[in-house]
Amino acid sequence: MATATSPFFSPPQIVPSVPAVRGLPFLGNMLEFRKDRLALHDLAAEVGPIARFQILHVPVYSVNDADLAHEVLVEKDASFKKSAGLSFLMPLLGEGLLTSEGEVHKKHRKLLAPAFAPKRLAAYGEVMVEETRRQLATWHRGKHVDLSHEMMEMTLAIAGRTMFDADVRGDASTVGTGLEMAMRSMLASITSPLQVPYSWPLPRHQQMRRAVKMLDAVVYRMIADGRAANRDKGDVLSMLLLARDEEGTGLTDPQVRDEVMTLLLAGHETTANALTWTWYELGRNPAALARLEEELTHVLGGRAVTAEDLPNLPWTAAVIDEALRLHPPAYQTGREATCDVTIGAHRLPERSIVVINIRGIHRRADYFPAPLAFRPERMLAEHKKARPRHHYLPFGAGSRVCIGSHFALMEAQLSLATMVAGARVRPTVTTVVPEPLVTLRPKGGLPAIVELKV
310 membership: H or E segment, kind and range: none
204 binds ligand HEM (CB under 6 A): no
160 binds ligand HEM (CB under 6 A): no
166 binds ligand HEM (CB under 6 A): no
Local structure of residue 338 (DSSP, 8 states): S
Convert 298-335 to b/e letters by CB count within 10 Å (16 or more is b): ebbeeebbebebbeebebbbbbbbbbbbbbbbbbbbeb
182 binds ligand HEM (CB under 6 A): no
Query: What is the rounded distance in angstroms from the CA atom of residue 379 to the CA atom of residue 370?
Result: 14
DSSP string, 339-398: S-EEETTEEEPTT-EEEE-HHHHHT-TTTSSSTTS--GGGGSHHHHHTS-GGG--TT--G
Stretch that binds ligand HEM, among 20-28, 30-38, 242-250, 400-408 (CB under 6 A): 400-408
Q: What is the dihedral sign for C-alpha 295, 425, 413, 222?
A: negative
124 binds ligand HEM (CB under 6 A): no
Characterize the bridge pairing of strands 353-356 and 58-63. parallel
Stretch that binds ligand HEM, among 136-144, 189-197, 338-346, 397-405 (CB under 6 A): 397-405
97 binds ligand HEM (CB under 6 A): yes
Q: Which of 189, 270, 352, 418 binds ligand HEM (CB under 6 A)?
A: 270
Residue closer to ligand HEM by CB (options 156, 266) is 266
Question: In this structure, what is the dihedral angle of CA atoms 234, 236, 238, 239, given to the nearest 10 degrees?
Answer: 90
271 binds ligand HEM (CB under 6 A): yes
Q: Work out how close the CB of 62 gets to ligand HEM at its nearest, in angstroms, rounded to a whole number.
A: 15
223 binds ligand HEM (CB under 6 A): no
Query: What is the rounded distance in angstroms from the CA atom of residue 331 to the CA atom of residue 437?
Result: 10
Number of chain positions touching ligand HEM (CB under 6 A): 24
- 3-state class of 99 per DSSP? coil
Q: Work out how close the CB of 241 gets to ligand HEM at its nearest, in angstroms, rounded to a whole number.
A: 17
Residue closer to ligand HEM by CB (options 403, 432) is 403
158 binds ligand HEM (CB under 6 A): no
Stretch that binds ligand HEM, among 37-45, 135-143, 189-197, 260-268 (CB under 6 A): 260-268
How many other CB atoms are there within 10 angstroms of residue 39's CB atom? 12
Residue closer to ligand HEM by CB (options 33, 392) is 392
Query: What is the rounded distance in angstroms from the CA atom of residue 391 to the CA atom of residue 394?
Result: 10
Q: Work out how close the CB of 330 gets to ligand HEM at its nearest, in angstroms, rounded to a whole number.
A: 4
Q: Work out how close the CB of 298 gets to ligand HEM at its nearest, in angstroms, rounded to a whole number.
A: 26
**Residues 6 or more apart in contact with residue 121 via CB below 8 angstroms:** 307, 406, 407, 410
Q: Taking Cα atoms as reference points, which of 437, 332, 356, 279 lies closest to residue 77?
A: 356
Query: What is the rounded distance in angstroms from the CA atom of residue 192 to the CA atom of residue 341?
Result: 28
Stretch that binds ligand HEM, among 48-56, 218-226, 270-278, 340-348 (CB under 6 A): 270-278
403 binds ligand HEM (CB under 6 A): yes
Residue closer to ligand HEM by CB (options 94, 424) is 94
392 binds ligand HEM (CB under 6 A): no
Q: Work out how close the CB of 449 gets to ligand HEM at its nearest, in angstroms, rounded to a whole number.
A: 25
Q: Which residues bind ligand HEM (CB under 6 A)?
A: 82, 97-98, 109, 262-263, 266-267, 270-271, 274, 328-330, 333, 394-396, 400, 402-404, 407-408
